[in-house]
Amino acid sequence: MADSNQSSDFADAFREDALSTLDNWGGVISDAKNSEAEETYSKLMRCAHNLKGNAGLMGFEQFSKAVHRLEDALLRLNTNKVDPKNSQLLTLLYDTEAFLRDWVILISVDPKHVAESISIIEKIESLSLNPSASLASTGAPTDGAQSNEPVKLDTNHAQKNEAAPKTDGNQKENSKYVEETIQLPSRKLDNLIHLVGELTLSQSIVSRGFNEGNTNTQQVIDALKMSEKLSVDLRQAVLDLRMLPMNGLFTRLERAASELSTRLNKPFHIFTTGHNVAVDKAVLSRIFDPLLHMLRNACDHGLENAEEREKSGKPDQGIIRIEAAVQSGGVSITVSDDGRGLNIEKIRAKAIEKNLISKDQNYSENEIRSLIFRSGFSTTEKVTDVSGRGVGMDVVLREIRMLGGQIEVHSELGKGTEFLITLPSNISLVEAFIIITNQSYFTVPTSDVLEIIDLKNYEIETSSLHKRMIKLRDEIVPLLPLSLFLKFDDRQTNLEMNYALIVRHHNKMIGLIIDEVVGQQQIFVRPLTGLLAKFPWISGSTILSNGEPAVIINAREIAAEGASGQIEGKKISELESK
Amino acid sequence: MNSKANSNINNRYILFRLGEETYGTPIMKVREVTEYKEPKPIPNSMNGFNGVINLRGEVLGVIDLRKILNISSTSCLSFLVFENSGSMLAGMVDRVMSVIVIPEADIEKSSSKNSTTKDYYLGIAKLETGLVTLIDLEKIGADLNS
């Protein structure tokens, strides 16, 4: 890990970050015409703040000062209620984007780069200090209090006006700016296009076979086999699109570490390895907070101060390592420090005090250590600025479990602590309801459900066609107990009529009666394989935040079958009367 | 173990208890042994399938070997985790006893294709402590799959 290498990695990360912030900036300006002034300003200020912070961390003083002035100017413009739709101001803001973009690129290549002039920012500044004067007339602004080059400002404006229609055209495309985006190497996209091309070819061979009424030729059989293989490849390639390397995350953690080190006045080394390990984007965005929390803990509680370290014969600067590696079926991330280690006795005493364990029982050291993951456990008395903001390791554990991963702790007193996280690598995140029926938990993707209604508020009617039905906004909705579909051998199905999931099948709505709605959360979907893939109505499995497995039910498929009045060939009316 | 000339990995077996009897299965086929935990039942599943467990973030199906092999027993302490057509299954056993080497010569291969036992048996091993029935977890899994 050569130093120069690392600093150029930092510069790369800064550039990436700053350019994407400037993309946002551009998006906000394009959207300004359709937004409230205050919103526009607050978004711009956030962008500026972001840039300032990142530049500050990199030590780009001139840049961060200039952006600081920009931020102040934006604040003043907001307070003075200067309309950001004003074309003169808009032009300046556009120019600022271009100006900062160039600066970011220059400075990330050469950290010593000094900008000769920041006149654009000065212009915005002068505008903010004296808005009425500068904006009084549309054409020539009279010289504002600090404006040095009012004339040039005007020409600039005129020039930009010519280009205005073009920007207007872009506006619509830019308005969906906040959408989640993903960057990927074009190689991945090319691969997809290639696969789709081959698949189309195979498919056309098969359709020709059908059209000619001769499907039993070697050519058709080969094409079918080929398309089978291609669709597997395609699936893999599509899943692979969401896989991103860890390096961005590591950069952010390293930055946070250097900030922590300054704030706590505790110099330490941080080493990260496994920058190229790829994980799902959803995992990547959710794992940052838990890792940051562990980093804070390691720094604040784990590492001793220099004096203490010297006494125990350690080098005066502590070491924190964050290491990612690929392992079978997923990735592992280790966060370790060479600090004081977990004090078993202290943890035991604390746990007894907090009534988490009983005094007389014997626990293994491992069991004691894992108590730090229990909610309501925190060993530091005082809440420091750095760690202990009410989130503890229990939150970390919960987050990691939700990602389908798990966490272990190893520690030796006086030597250090190590947290080992293992995560699955290919998963997808879905918003789902957690419901109870037949005394079991199930999950249903929210996208499958139109709404959930409380049956207490509806009158349940009977007709010749439906045993139970309700009127929902003038539409007749037949009700079916979900428990009819999800049967257990050893359980009596008793029907409670509490809630109904309203699911659409074609243009009909069907209500599936359930006992209870427990909540709504994001779940990680794992595909079912082998034996598990054989059971009807189940589309996947997941692990709930309490660590229990639960299956995801396919409500649409159930609704379709329900609409046909049959379950696996048996009449629903007969099944219900049993 | 190293004293025996023919002790390669292929003739090592894991012995476990099901009801009154001791059974064995090739250790190569067992990925791990893990502590029993209550499986969550899955609706519409077949007899012998007891539900799913969360094993370190993976959702595994649990099969009841006692039910499948028609053995009555009430206590279950362990799972034998084994691979089954690309996914993992956990087989419930009363308890795991030991890992031993059984030379091929000591195994009497089951030759008669008895229809009731469905080919789950690899054979019977004669040990000093008694007879041990060797079963084929893969076959059981495959059978459930079909």
- Transcribe A481-494 into DSSP letters: EGGGTS--TT----
Question: How far is Cα A397 from Cα B106, in angstroms, rounded to an integer?
Answer: 49
Measured in angstroms, the CA of A549 and the nearest CA of chain B are apart by 6
Put simply, whether B144 touches A (Cβ < 8 Å) is yes
Put simply, whether A329 touches B (Cβ < 8 Å) is yes
Q: Which residues contact A255 (CB under 8 A, 6 or more apart)?
A: A57
CB spacing of A486 vs B40 below 8 angstroms = no
Question: How far is Cα A161 from Cα A85, in angstroms, rounded to an integer?
Answer: 14
Residues A287, A330: contact at Cβ < 8 Å?
Answer: no
DSSP characters over A51-62: HHHHHHHHT-HH
Q: What is the mean pLDDT of residues B31-41?
A: 92
Tokens matching residue A557: 């498929």
More confident position, B107 or A375: B107
Quote the pLDDT of residue A391.
56
Nearest beta carbon to residue B54 from set A423, A489, A543: A543
Measured between beta carbons, the chain B residues lying within 8 angstroms of A405 are 57
**pLDDT tens for each residue of B51-106:** 999 888 788 999 999 888 888 877 888 999 998 877 789 999 999 999 999 988 88
Question: How far is Cα A352 from Cα A25, in angstroms, rounded to an integer?
Answer: 53
Which residue, among A487, A528, A532, A546, would best test binding to B if mutated, counting the most B CBs under 10 Å from its CB? A532
CB spacing of B57 vs A424 below 8 angstroms = yes
Put simply, whether A549 touches B (Cβ < 8 Å) is yes
The 8 Å CB, 24+ separation contacts for B24-28 are B24/B100, B24/B102, B24/B125, B24/B132, B24/B133, B24/B134, B24/B135, B25/B80, B25/B122, B25/B134, B25/B135, B25/B136, B25/B137, B26/B122, B26/B134, B27/B99
CB spacing of B56 vs A526 below 8 angstroms = no
Put simply, whether B142 touches A (Cβ < 8 Å) is no
DSSP characters over A71-117: HHHHHHHHHTT--TT-HHHHHHHHHHHHHHHHHHHHHHH-TT---S-
Measured between beta carbons, the chain A residues lying within 8 angstroms of B145 are 530-531, 534
Question: How far is Cα A324 from Cα A330, in angstroms, rounded to an integer?
Answer: 11
Quote the pLDDT of residue A138.
41
CB spacing of A534 vs B145 below 8 angstroms = yes
Measured in angstroms, the CA of B52 and the nearest CA of chain A are apart by 7
**pLDDT tens for each residue of B116-131:** 555 788 888 988 888 9
Widest CA span of chain A, in angstroms?
Answer: 89
Q: How far apart are the first and last CA of chain A?
A: 71
Put simply, whether B38 touches A (Cβ < 8 Å) is no
The pLDDT tens digits along chain A (578 residues) read 444 455 666 777 788 888 888 888 887 887 777 788 888 888 888 888 888 888 887 888 889 889 989 988 998 888 888 888 877 888 888 888 888 988 888 888 788 888 888 888 888 888 888 776 655 444 433 333 333 333 333 333 333 333 333 333 343 333 333 456 677 788 888 999 999 999 999 999 999 988 888 888 888 888 888 888 888 788 778 878 878 888 888 988 888 888 788 878 888 999 998 888 888 887 887 888 889 889 988 988 888 888 888 888 888 889 999 999 887 667 889 999 999 998 888 888 888 888 888 887 788 888 888 888 887 776 554 444 444 444 578 888 888 877 777 788 999 888 999 999 988 766 666 788 999 988 889 999 887 888 999 998 888 888 877 788 888 888 889 998 888 888 887 766 667 788 999 998 777 889 999 999 998 887 888 777 777 877 888 888 888 888 889 999 988 888 888 877 766 666 666 666 55
Quote the pLDDT of residue A135.
59
- Counting one residue from chain A and one from chain B, the pairs whose CB atoms sit within 8 A come to 83
Measured between beta carbons, the chain B residues lying within 8 angstroms of A515 are none
Q: What residues form DSSP beta bridges with B62?
A: B51, B90
What's chain B's Rg over C-alpha atoms?
15
3-state DSSP call for residue A514?
strand
Helices (H), A440-529: none
Torsions phi, psi for A230 (to 5 deg)? -65, -40
Tokens matching residue A34: 């359709």
Residues B90, B60: contact at Cβ < 8 Å?
Answer: yes
Vertex A134 angle, CA A78 and A30, to 5°: 50
CB spacing of A488 vs B86 below 8 angstroms = no
Tokens matching residue A363: 């626990």
Residues A400, A408: contact at Cβ < 8 Å?
Answer: no
Measured in angstroms, the CA of B113 and the nearest CA of chain A are apart by 25
Put simply, whether A260 touches B (Cβ < 8 Å) is no
* Cross-sheet strand order for the sheet of A268-273: A268-273, A318-327, A330-337, A416-424, A406-412
Measured in angstroms, the CA of A548 and the nearest CA of chain B are apart by 6
3-state DSSP call for residue A2?
coil
CB spacing of B40 vs A549 below 8 angstroms = yes
Calculate helix-pair angle for A3-31, A247-264, nearest 10 degrees.
100
What ipTM did this prediction achieve? 0.78
Measured between beta carbons, the chain B residues lying within 8 angstroms of A527 are none
Measured in angstroms, the CA of A493 and the nearest CA of chain B are apart by 12
Tokens matching residue A156: 């600039």
Q: For chain B, what is the mean pLDDT? A: 84
| Residue with the two structure tokens 């027993």 | B73
Helices (H), B57-122: 65-68
pLDDT classification of B132: cutoffs 50, 70, 90? very high
Tokens matching residue A398: 């919960």
CB spacing of A531 vs B58 below 8 angstroms = no
CB spacing of B44 vs A487 below 8 angstroms = yes
Measured in angstroms, the CA of A528 and the nearest CA of chain B are apart by 9
Quote the pLDDT of residue A4.
47
Put simply, whether A535 touches B (Cβ < 8 Å) is yes
Measured between beta carbons, the chain A residues lying within 8 angstroms of B63 are 531
Put simply, whether B7 touches A (Cβ < 8 Å) is no
| Residue with the two structure tokens 């291969």 | B109
Question: How far is Cα A484 from Cα A537, in angstroms, rounded to an integer?
Answer: 11
Put simply, whether B130 touches A (Cβ < 8 Å) is no
CB spacing of B49 vs A440 below 8 angstroms = no
Quote the pLDDT of residue A425.
64
Quote the pLDDT of residue A321.
93
Put simply, whether A538 touches B (Cβ < 8 Å) is yes
DSSP characters over A280-348: EHHHHHHHHHHHHHHHHHIIIIISPPHHHHHHTT--SSEEEEEEEEEETTEEEEEEEE-SS---HHHHH
Question: How far is Cα B61 from Cα B40, in angstroms, rounded to an integer?
Answer: 9
Put simply, whether B41 touches A (Cβ < 8 Å) is yes
Nearest beta carbon to residue B145 from set A330, A531, A541: A531
CB spacing of A406 vs B56 below 8 angstroms = yes
Q: What residues form DSSP beta bridges with A420?
A: A334, A408
Cα–Cα separations (whole angstroms), residue B3 to A351, B6, B7, B8: 50, 9, 8, 11
Question: How far is Cα A442 from Cα B42, in angstroms, rounded to an integer?
Answer: 10
Measured between beta carbons, the chain A residues lying within 8 angstroms of B84 are 530-531
Type and span of the H or E element at A204: helix A186-211
Residues A514, A501: contact at Cβ < 8 Å?
Answer: yes
Measured in angstroms, the CA of A251 and the nearest CA of chain B are apart by 27
Torsions phi, psi for B119 (to 5 deg)? 70, 15
Cα–Cα separations (whole angstroms), residue A138 to A33, A82, A573: 18, 14, 76
Strand ranges in A347-402 using DSSP code E only, listed in sequence order: none
Measured between beta carbons, the chain B residues lying within 8 angstroms of A539 are none
Quote the pLDDT of residue B89.
92
Put simply, whether B42 touches A (Cβ < 8 Å) is yes
Measured in angstroms, the CA of A486 and the nearest CA of chain B are apart by 5
Question: How far is Cα A151 from Cα A267, in angstroms, rounded to an integer?
Answer: 52
Put simply, whether A270 touches B (Cβ < 8 Å) is no
Would the pTM of this model clear 0.90, i.e. be above it?
no
Measured between beta carbons, the chain A residues lying within 8 angstroms of B91 are none
Backbone conformation region of residue B85, classed left if phi is above 0, alpha if psi is from -120 to 50, else beta: left
Measured between beta carbons, the chain B residues lying within 8 angstroms of A440 are 40-41, 43
Number of helices and strands in chain B (H, E): 2, 11
CB spacing of A535 vs B42 below 8 angstroms = yes
Measured in angstroms, the CA of B51 and the nearest CA of chain A are apart by 9
CB spacing of A531 vs B84 below 8 angstroms = yes
Quote the pLDDT of residue A435.
93
Closest to B81 in 3D by CA, of B69, B95, B91: B91
